[in-house]
Amino acid sequence: MTYSKTAMGIQRYGTTQRWSDAVVFNRVAYLCEVPSNLDGDIHAQTQEVLGLLKSRLEEVGSSGECILNATIYIPDPADLPGFNALWDAWVPQGTAPVRACIHAALTNPKMRVEVTLQAAIIELP
């Protein structure tokens, strides 16, 4: 994926008019992912989002071990155990980030999860 670099050293990946897929500044990556499979249950949507995050982390020179902070948005509190089971298996043992989980409506009522995170950069892309 192509990226743009500003004079201030900010790198933007997959930038559109409304958002960037990732932004990197001072060796910290800022990411947000939502599912595109809106017909999937919490397991399918979570697997998709975690897969997208993993790919994006690798693209910017980071990994799951380097996640510093995560915020999870889940509209239905009943979906939290299903999300947590997949999250716990996805985060490398002993590297859990600071994390908050918020129950809130998302922009599309079919979305079951949205995740934002920040991660340290371990290598330059």
Predicted local distance difference test score (pLDDT) of residue 103: 96
Predicted local distance difference test score (pLDDT) of residue 5: 59
Specify the fold of 3-120: 60s Ribosomal Protein L30; Chain: A; (3.30.1330)
Tokens linked to 68:
């510093």
Task: Kindly give the confidence (pLDDT) of every residue in the chain, 125 residues in length, as a single tens digit, with 9 standing for 90 and above.
Answer: 555 556 678 999 989 999 999 999 999 999 999 999 999 999 999 999 999 999 999 999 999 999 999 999 999 999 999 999 999 999 999 999 999 999 999 999 999 999 999 999 987 65
Q: Could you say which DSSP state residue 101 is in? A: E
Q: Residue ranges per domain, the chain?
A: 3-120
Q: In three state form, how does the secondary structure of 19-81 look? A: CCCEEEECCEEEEEECCCCCCCCHHHHHHHHHHHHHHHHHHCCCCHHHEEEEEEECCCHHHHH
Predicted local distance difference test score (pLDDT) of residue 80: 98
Predicted local distance difference test score (pLDDT) of residue 122: 84
Tokens linked to 111:
């979305």
Tell me if the pTM is above 0.85: yes
